Amino acid sequence: MKPRFVLASGGNAAAVMLAGLVSACAATAAVAQVSPWLPFTGGDAEFNALTDNAQRVQGAAETRIGSRTDAGAWELGIWRSIPSGPFLSIGQLPRVNAQTLDFALTYDGDVSLSWRVGSRSVTTTQLGGRFTDIFIRVQSAGNGSIALSSLQFNGAGPTAQLVASGAGTVNYLRLSNGSLPFGAFEIRGFETLSWVANDPPVNSAVNAQFRFTNIIPSPGACVVGCLAGAMALRRRRG
């Protein structure tokens, strides 16, 4: 439906124009669709630039090599911020070299998140808030690699994979909901974590992270344009 504009005089014109433009922006945003599995080649530097050095991260879920056992360092975690916590929930996940485990990441559309890999899971009800983008990040080491496969968003649409192998390799995928916060969703897939048998890495040397964040708005965002147009109209009629 096209926005309707009503002619007005004096100072009311700017208000009417602003209302019409905001209505048009809202109508456009309301039909935004999730764009899954967008290539993201800028790495950590571009991620930091888009998220004000991760200050806009509302939380993150991580699977990592840890200590590979039911004791010692953790293998599953949910964080409030990047890169060092505070932790909201952590758990153990005994690992077998090159074993493939299914996973499910379930979000309620507000501040609750459940993160399951294989038979182990961690949960939180304390995410920082809602978010418009999900950045999936994998990191490998010279003695370990990780692969996420058959990634699927809400059980529909295309699947994707994301792999990191070799010393210091970092790769990303991005899911975007435009300028709108995500509603409830589930991401499913499979994780395979491998290491050199006689020299396994530890802790987060090999890991995958799902980072839930808002990005810095573009200067050309719709609402900015709406406000600028209204103010220009007011100045002309002033």
Give residue limits of the domains in the chain. Answer: 34-213
Residue range 100-142, pLDDT digits in tens? 999 999 999 999 999 999 999 999 999 999 999 999 999 999 9
What angle, rounded to 10 degrees, do the helices at 222-237 and 12-30 form? 170
Peptide bond preceding 217 in cis form (omega within 30 of 0): no
Task: Residue 42: count other Cβ atoms within 10 Å of its Cβ.
Answer: 13
Angle at 136 between CA 38 and CA 53, to 5 degrees: 100
- Extract the tokens encoding 25: 């922006």
The pLDDT, as a whole number, for residue 105 is 98
Least confident of 5-19, 55-69, 146-160, 209-223: 5-19
DSSP code of 200? -
Single-letter code of the amino acid located at 141: A
- 3-class SS at 45? helix
Model confidence pLDDT, tens digit, residues 83-101:
777 899 999 999 999 999 9
The average pLDDT across 198-214 equals: 97
pLDDT band at 26; cut points 50, 70, 90 = very low
Spatial separation of the C-alpha atoms in residues 110 and 101, rounded to whole Å = 27
